[in-house]
A and B are shown apart, each in its own frame.
Chain A
Amino acid sequence: MPSAPTMIDPVWAWQPFSPTANEPWDRTLVAHLFRRAAFGATPSQLEAAVAEAPEAVVDRLLQTAEESSSFRDESDALAATLLSTGEPRQLAAWWAYVMLNTPHPLLERMTLFWHGHFAVSAAKVTDAALLLEQNRTFRRAALGEFRPLVHTVARDPAMLLYLDSATNRKARPNENFARELMELFCLGEGHYSEKDVQELARCFTGWEIKQGKFRFNRFQHDGGEKTLLGRSGVFPDGEAIDWILDQPQAAVFIVGKLYREFVCDEPAPDPQLLQPLADEFRKNDMQIAPVVRRVLTSRLFYSAHSRARKVRSPVDAAIGLLRTFEGTANTHRLAADLQQNGQGLFFPPNVKGWEGGRAWINSATILGRANMAARLVGDEKMRFGGGTLGEYFARHGAVAPDQVVDLAATLLLASPLPAKRRDGLIDVSRNSKDPARRAADVLRALATLPEFQLC
Chain B
Amino acid sequence: MTSSRRRFLKQLASGSAVMSLGARVPAFLTMAAAAEVTPQSDAILVVVQLTGGNDGLNTVIPYRDDEYYKARPKLAMPAEDVARINDQFGFHPAARGLADLLQAGKLAVVQGVGYPQPNRSHFESMDVWHTCRRKGGPRTTGWLGRFLDDMSPTPGRDAPAIHVGSEKQPLALAADAVRVPSLASPEEFRLESNDRQLGNLIDEVGFHEAPHADALLEYLTSSTTSAFSASKRITEALGSDDSPVKYPETELAARLKTIAQLIDAGLSTRIYYVELDGFDTHSQQAAAHAALLRQYAGAMSAFMEDVAHRGHGDRVLTASFSEFGRRVAENASAGTDHGAAAPVFLCGAHVRPGLTGEHPSLVDLDDGDLKHHTDFRQVYATLLERWLQAASSPILGGRFEPVDVLSA
Quick one: given A362-B169, A428-B201, are A179 and B189 in contact (CB under 8 Å)? no
List which B306-354 residues lie within 8 A (CB) of chain A: 329-333, 335, 337-338
**A355 adjacent to B220 (CB under 8 Å):** no
CB < 8 Å: which of A349, A424, A445, A450 contacts B217? A450
Taking CB atoms, residues of chain B closer than 8 Å to A425 are 201
Quick one: given A169-B332, A374-B192, A449-B201, are A266 and B338 in contact (CB under 8 Å)? no
What CA separation (Å) do A370 and B231 show in the bound complex?
Answer: 13
What CA separation (Å) do A428 and B193 show in the bound complex?
Answer: 13
Quick one: given A363-B189, A421-B205, A428-B197, are A1 and B215 in contact (CB under 8 Å)? yes
What CA separation (Å) do A422 and B208 show in the bound complex?
Answer: 14
What CA separation (Å) do A190 and B127 show in the bound complex?
Answer: 14
Q: Which residue of B lies closest to A265 (CB)?
A: B216
Cβ contacts A415-455/B at 8 Å (1 or 0 each): 10010110011011001000000000000110011110110
B183 within 8 A of A: yes
Taking CB atoms, residues of chain A closer than 8 Å to B167 are 342, 349
A269 to chain B: closest CB distance in Å? 16
Cβ contacts A367-395/B at 8 Å (1 or 0 each): 11011001100100000000000000000
**A374 adjacent to B333 (CB under 8 Å):** no
A54 within 8 A of B: no
**A174 adjacent to B333 (CB under 8 Å):** yes
A323 to chain B: closest CB distance in Å? 22
CB < 8 Å: which of A173, A358, A362, A454 contacts B331? A173
Q: Which residue of B lies closest to A3 (CB)?
A: B215
Q: Which residue of B lies closest to A425 (CB)?
A: B201
Q: Which residue of A lies closest to B337 (CB)?
A: A175
A164 within 8 A of B: yes
B76 to chain A: closest CB distance in Å? 15
What CA separation (Å) do A194 and B324 show in the bound complex?
Answer: 15
B283 within 8 A of A: yes
Selecting from B25-33, B118-126, B290-298, the interface stretch reads B118-126
**B224 adjacent to A448 (CB under 8 Å):** yes
**B215 adjacent to A449 (CB under 8 Å):** no
B240 within 8 A of A: no
Q: Which residue of B lies closest to A431 (CB)?
A: B197
Q: Which residue of B lies closest to A428 (CB)?
A: B197
B272 to chain A: closest CB distance in Å? 14
Q: Which residue of B lies closest to A171 (CB)?
A: B332
Cβ contacts A295-313/B at 8 Å (1 or 0 each): 0000000000000110100
Give the residue among B141, B180, B184, B230 with the most A Cβ atoms within 10 A.
Answer: B184
We find that the number of chain A residues with CB closer than 8 angstroms to chain B is 66
**A308 adjacent to B217 (CB under 8 Å):** yes
**B216 adjacent to A454 (CB under 8 Å):** yes
CB < 8 Å: which of A359, A415, A449 contacts B168? A359
**B166 adjacent to A172 (CB under 8 Å):** no
**B332 adjacent to A364 (CB under 8 Å):** no
B181 within 8 A of A: yes
CB < 8 Å: which of A176, A364, A427 contacts B181? A364
What CA separation (Å) do A420 and B206 show in the bound complex?
Answer: 11
What CA separation (Å) do A362 and B338 show in the bound complex?
Answer: 30
Taking CB atoms, residues of chain B closer than 8 Å to A164 are 282-283, 333, 335
What CA separation (Å) do A371 and B119 show in the bound complex?
Answer: 40
**A445 adjacent to B332 (CB under 8 Å):** no
B372 within 8 A of A: no
A340 within 8 A of B: yes
Cβ contacts B89-130/A at 8 Å (1 or 0 each): 000000000000000000000000000000111111000000
Taking CB atoms, residues of chain A closer than 8 Å to B337 are 174-176
Taking CB atoms, residues of chain B closer than 8 Å to A378 are 193
We find that the number of chain B residues with CB closer than 8 angstroms to chain A is 64
Quick one: given A174-B335, A349-B167, are A445 and B192 in contact (CB under 8 Å)? no
B146 to chain A: closest CB distance in Å? 12
**B188 adjacent to A368 (CB under 8 Å):** yes
Cβ contacts A152-167/B at 8 Å (1 or 0 each): 0000000000011001
Taking CB atoms, residues of chain A closer than 8 Å to B122 are 350-352
B311 to chain A: closest CB distance in Å? 28
A449 to chain B: closest CB distance in Å? 7
Quick one: given A172-B332, A190-B135, A450-B224, are A364 and B166 in contact (CB under 8 Å)? yes
B373 within 8 A of A: no
A83 within 8 A of B: no
What CA separation (Å) do A451 and B219 show in the bound complex?
Answer: 11
**A363 adjacent to B217 (CB under 8 Å):** no
CB < 8 Å: which of B124, B209, B329 contacts A189? B124
What CA separation (Å) do A441 and B205 show in the bound complex?
Answer: 19
A305 to chain B: closest CB distance in Å? 12
Taking CB atoms, residues of chain B closer than 8 Å to A359 are 168-169
B391 within 8 A of A: no
Quick one: given A168-B332, A174-B335, are A1 and B140 in contact (CB under 8 Å)? yes
A261 within 8 A of B: no
Taking CB atoms, residues of chain A closer than 8 Å to B230 are 363
B399 to chain A: closest CB distance in Å? 26
What CA separation (Å) do A363 and B158 show in the bound complex?
Answer: 13
A61 within 8 A of B: no
**A361 adjacent to B220 (CB under 8 Å):** yes
B367 within 8 A of A: yes
Starting from the known contacts A340-B188, A363-B179, 17 additional A-B residue pairs (CB-CB under 8 Å) come to: A1-B141, A167-B283, A169-B332, A169-B333, A175-B337, A175-B338, A176-B282, A179-B120, A189-B119, A342-B166, A349-B167, A358-B216, A358-B219, A359-B168, A361-B219, A368-B188, A451-B217
17 A-B contacts (beta carbon < 8 Å): A190-B135, A342-B166, A350-B122, A351-B122, A360-B168, A364-B189, A367-B228, A368-B188, A375-B192, A418-B205, A421-B205, A427-B197, A431-B197, A444-B198, A445-B201, A450-B221, A450-B224
B interface residue numbers (CB < 8 A to A):
119-124, 135, 140-141, 163, 166-169, 176, 179-184, 188-193, 195, 197-198, 200-202, 204-205, 208-209, 214-217, 219-221, 223-224, 226-228, 230-231, 277, 280, 282-283, 329-333, 335, 337-338, 367
By Cβ-Cβ distance, the 6 closest A-B pairs, closest first, are A363-B181, A169-B332, A363-B227, A167-B333, A362-B182, A450-B220
